[in-house]
Amino acid sequence: MRALTEEETKTLFAKLANYTGSSLKNLIAPLSDSPDADRYVFRVNKDRVYYVLLSISNLATSIQRERLLSLGTCLGKFTKTGKFRLHITALPILAEHARYKIWVKPNGEMPFLYGGNVVKAHVGRWSEDCPEHQGVVVYSMNDTPLGFGVTARSTAESRRLDPTGVVCFRQADCGEFLRDEDTLFSG
């Protein structure tokens, strides 16, 4: 495991900031006010980025890189072209710090979990003043995070859409744990 390079950090933070906004700094802030407080860090192992406590990351340095499979929460991976792709395993972290949210009605949960986009007819409510092409976390009506995506239109434009108009493009959903179980965690 190694720390991220400056270029990797910029790419990762740009992707995370699309979903979290200004609360991105809360991801890396110390857990308490004491001088020796533990904090979360980002580490890379085989192009996958992990979100892990610094104390645990320091302990993992005694394990060979080839033998270390995973450590902490996998946020996603870097592609061969240098872009960063978030995995569904990042959902708990994104849901906790999300700036914009969309809640889908019960009749829209299954189409989303089977890999479909969110259409206007399935939206129960959404965050106000959400711009176009902004990262959002998709919730069920009882506040259970289902996945995340990118808005197709701003909130104001979405209100004028017909019921079959796409409001949010799906990036990842909880159904991926079943659909992609063979490749989700493999190298």
In a domain, 183, yes or no: no
pLDDT recorded at residue 106: 96
Pair 87, 152 in one domain: no
Q: How many domains does the chain have?
A: 2
pLDDT tens figures, 98-134: 999 999 999 999 999 999 999 999 999 999 889 999 9
Residue 126 domain boundaries:
100-178
In a domain, 52, yes or no: yes
What type of residue sits at position 108? G
Q: How confident is the model at residue 49 (pLDDT cuts 50, 70, 90)?
A: very high
CATH of the domain at 43: 3.10.450.220
CATH of the domain at 157: 2.30.130.10
Strands (E), the chain: 2-3, 40-45, 48-53, 73-78, 84-86, 101-104, 118-119, 123-126, 135-140, 145-151, 166-173
Phi and psi at 2, nearest 5°, equal: -140, 160
Whole-prediction pTM value? 0.87
Pair 163, 127 in one domain: yes
Pair 41, 78 in one domain: yes
